Amino acid sequence: MAANPLTALSHDEALFQQEVERFARTAIGPKVLEMDEKEQFDLELLPQLFDMGLMGIEVPTEHGGAGGTFFMSILAIEAMAKIDPAVSVICDVQNTLVNNIFMRYANPAQQQKYLSRLTSKDVGSYCLTEPNSGSDAFAMKSRAYDEGDHWRLDGKKIFITNAKEANIFVVFANINPELGYKGITAFVLERGMPGFKVGKKEKKLGIRASSTCEVIFENVRVPKENVIGEIGKGYKIAIETLNEGRIGIAAQMLGLAQGAFEGALKYSRQREQFGKPIKEFQGIQFSIAKAATEIEAARLLVYNAARLKDAGKEFVKEAAMAKHFASAVAETVSSEMLEVYGGYGFIKEFPAEKFYRDAKIGKLYEGTTNMQLATIFKLIDSQYR
C-alpha cells in the first residue's frame, strides 16, 4: 500500500498512525468485548485519549491541541476503528465536528474558553438530528427565543453521539421558523444548565460503546455570548461541518474493514481443514483477495478526500464518494470475512460478528447513502454542463 503515491504516508504520518494503533491494541483492545456487552464506554479510557492528544488532533497548540492536520485525524480514526469502531467514532465526532466548529466559526473568546477544555478533559457533542428532521435536517422544531439579555431554548434532539459523556454541546435551533433554514443558529450549551438534560440512551445493533442519546431543552437560559458564528447562519455551519465529518465516517468504515480483513487473514492461516490451513483453498483466497482490493479502493477515496481538504481545495463530492463507498465496503467485507471463520464467525469469541454489526451504521449516520448519492449526482451534473 505504501508504494502507491496516493496512499503513501510521510515518515511522521506513518509513525503517528502506528502509535495510535499500538495504543488502541493495548489500551482499548482488552476492553472491547466488555464495553460492547455492557453497551457502555469505559470512562477510564478518556484520560488516556486526552493524554495521547487524540481528542484535539487539529487544534492549535496554543489551545492545548496537537497542532496536526485533518489528515492526521483521519489516520487516527482509521487506526482506532481497526480495534473498535465505537471508540473510533467518539474521537471522530470530537475532532471532525465539535472541535472543527470551534476552530472555524467560534470567536476568539469562545475558542479560548472551550478549545482548551475540549483538548484536555471535556467530550463534545454535536446536536442536529430531531425526531422529524433526519435527512431533512433543516425541518427542525427546536426553537431559540430572544429574551433580551439571553436566549431561551426549547426542543429535543435524538441520536446524539457522545451525549452521555459530553459536557459541551453544540446545538442547532431556529430563531424564527418563518425564515426557514435562514433562521437556524448554532449555540453552545453545557451540561448542568437548568432545563438541559440528556435523555434515554438508545440500545443499538452496533457501536454499542458509543453513546447515542436524546438531548432535551426545556426553557434553557443561554447567554448571548454563546451564539457560535452569525445569527441565522447555523445552516452553513452544519452543512460545511458535516462535509468534513463524512470523511471521518469514511475513515472509520475503512478501519473497520481493515480490522475485519486482518482478523480473517490471520484465522485463515491458523484454521486447518482436510489436513491444511484453509488459506490454501481457492475459495478462501478469492474472498480475501477481493476484500483487499475493495479496501485499497476505499483507502484511495478516503485519503484523497482528506488531502484535498487539507490543501484547501474543493472536496465535497470526494467526501460523499468516500463515505458512500467506504460504508459499502465495510458492510461487504465484514460479511465476507465473517464467513472465513465459518461457524466461529457467528459467536463472540472472535471479533468478526462485532465488525459485522458495527458496519451497518456507516450507511446511516452523517448522511445516508441516498443523501451521498444525491450530493454526488448534483455536483457531477453541474461539473459536466
Q: Which CATH superfamily is domain 125-232 in?
A: Butyryl-CoA Dehydrogenase, subunit A, domain 2 (2.40.110.10)
For CATH 1.20.140.10, list the domain ranges present in the chain: 236-383
At 5 the pLDDT is 65
Q: How far is CA 370 from CA 363, 364, 376, 383, in A?
A: 9, 9, 10, 20
Q: How far apart are CA 244 and CA 254, in angstroms?
A: 16
CATH of region 11-123: 1.10.540.10
Q: How far apart are CA 85 and CA 106, in angstroms?
A: 29
Q: How far apart are CA 346 and CA 221, in angstroms?
A: 50
Catalytic residue among 21, 58, 336, 366: 366
For CATH 1.10.540.10, list the domain ranges present in the chain: 11-123
Q: How far apart are CA 304 and CA 325, in angstroms?
A: 13
Name beta bridge partners: 185.
173
pLDDT tens digit sequence for 23-53:
999 999 999 999 999 999 999 999 999 999 9
Residue 134 has pLDDT above 90, yes or no: no
196 and 220 Cβ atoms separated by less than 8 Å = yes
Q: What is the pTM of this model?
A: 0.96
Burial of 317 (0-12, 13-18, 19+ CB in 10 A): buried
**CATH top class, domain 236-383:** mainly alpha
Q: Collapsing DSSP states into helix, strand and coil, what is residue 77?
A: helix
Longest distance between any two alpha carbons in the chain, whole Å: 80
At 6 the pLDDT is 67
Amino acid sitting at position 307: R
| Range with the poorest average pLDDT among 198-202, 263-267, 381-385 | 381-385
Active-site residue 21, yes or no? no
Q: Specify the length of the chain in residues.
A: 385
Residue 136 has pLDDT above 60, yes or no: yes
Q: How far is CA 172 from CA 74, 211, 281, in A?
A: 25, 20, 54
Element (H, E) at 289: helix 282-310
At 2 the pLDDT is 45
Residues 6+ apart with CB under 8 A from 357: 205, 206
pLDDT tens digit sequence for 221-263:
999 999 999 999 999 999 999 999 999 999 999 999 999 999 9
For CATH 2.40.110.10, list the domain ranges present in the chain: 125-232
Output phi, psi for 167, to 5 deg.
-115, -20
